[in-house]
Amino acid sequence: MKPTEKIRHRLGLSQVEFAKLLGVSQGSVSAYEHGRQEISPAVARRMVEVARATPERGFPLTLDQVYGLQPVEPATPEPAAAGS
C-alpha cells in the first residue's frame, strides 16, 4: 500500500473526500495511490495540513511520510474506558 493510501485510510476518508480537501481530482488521488503520478510539493504540504487538521482522526504527518521515506503508522485503537 502506497503512503497516500495509508494516510487516507488513517484519516478515514474516501478518495473523493480526500481529493476535495487536497484540491485535486479523485483521479489524482487514485494515481498517487497506484504510483502513476508524483505528488507535487504543494499537494504534499496540503496533505500534511489536512492530516494535522482533521478532527478526531488527525495525526502529525511529515513530508518524509508523504514521500515514503518514513513509515505511516496505523492508527492505534482507543483504550477501553475503565469499567467497560
pLDDT tens across 28-66, in order?
Answer: 999 999 999 999 999 999 999 999 998 888 899 999 999
Statement: residue 15 has pLDDT above 50: yes
User: Which amino acid type is present at position 77?
Assistant: P
Sign of the Cα pseudo-torsion (54, 23, 62, 68, in order): positive
pLDDT at 78: 56
pTM of the model: 0.86
pLDDT at 84: 47
Residue range 15-34: mean pLDDT, rounded: 97
Q: How far apart are CA 78 and CA 19, in angstroms?
A: 27
Q: Which residues contact 43 (CB under 8 A, 6 or more apart)?
A: 22, 23, 24, 28
Joined grid coordinates for residue 22: 487536497
pLDDT at 70: 94
Cα 9 to Cα 5, 40, 46, 72: the distances in Å are 6, 20, 16, 11
**Average predicted confidence (pLDDT) for the chain:** 90
For the chain, domains (ranges, CATH) are: 3-66 (1.10.260.40)
